[in-house]
């Protein structure tokens, strides 16, 4: 009786020779209630401040750029709720608004 010689399958030899790494991403959906608004977040330790608010039945996203200059613009909702953002509060937003108004008054 002859013994069969064990051979590696192509799949196994491929696994032995190559190591493959991949990143798996998953979209998550969050629900926001109107009682949760306004939401304040910040990015890069307060260089950008975001506010998500309800205005006339629509969600509005605002952004204050603090450095290198002051600017108040609209933003996207996805930017406000970004994963890399940190939580902020209303006082931090008010202080940034005060500094923004003061900045523009000094330029007059």
pLDDT attached to residue 95: 93
Q: Which of 24-28, 59-63, 66-70, 95-99 has the lowest mean pLDDT?
A: 24-28
State how far the Cα of 67 lies from the Cα of 93, in Å rounded to an integer.
Answer: 14
Each residue's pLDDT tens digit, 16-53: 777 767 788 877 777 888 888 899 999 987 789 999 99
Q: What share of the chain is helix, strand, coil (3-state, %, to 5)?
A: 30, 25, 45
User: Residue 40: its pLDDT value, please?
Assistant: 92
pLDDT at 106 over 90: no
| pLDDT, average across residues 60-79 | 90
Kindly state the average pLDDT of the residues 56-85: 90
Given this model, what pLDDT does residue 5 score?
Answer: 58
Does residue 76 carry a pLDDT above 90? yes
CB 41 within 8 A of CB 85: yes
Nearest-angstrom CA–CA distance, 93 and 18: 51
Has residue 61 got a pLDDT over 90? yes
């Amino acid at each position: 009786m002859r013994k069969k010689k064990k051979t590696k399958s192509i799949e196994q030899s491929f696994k032995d020779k190559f190591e493959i790494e991949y990143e798996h991403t998953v979209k998550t959906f969050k629900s926001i209630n109107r009682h949760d608004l306004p939401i304040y977040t910040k990015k890069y330790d307060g260089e950008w401040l975001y506010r998500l608010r309800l205005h006339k039945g629509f969600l509005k996203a605002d952004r204050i750029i603090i450095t290198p200059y002051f600017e108040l613009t609209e933003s996207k909702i996805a930017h406000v709720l970004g994963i890399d953002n940190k939580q902020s509060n209303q006082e931090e937003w008010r202080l940034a608004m005060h500094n923004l108004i003061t900045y523009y008054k000094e330029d007059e």
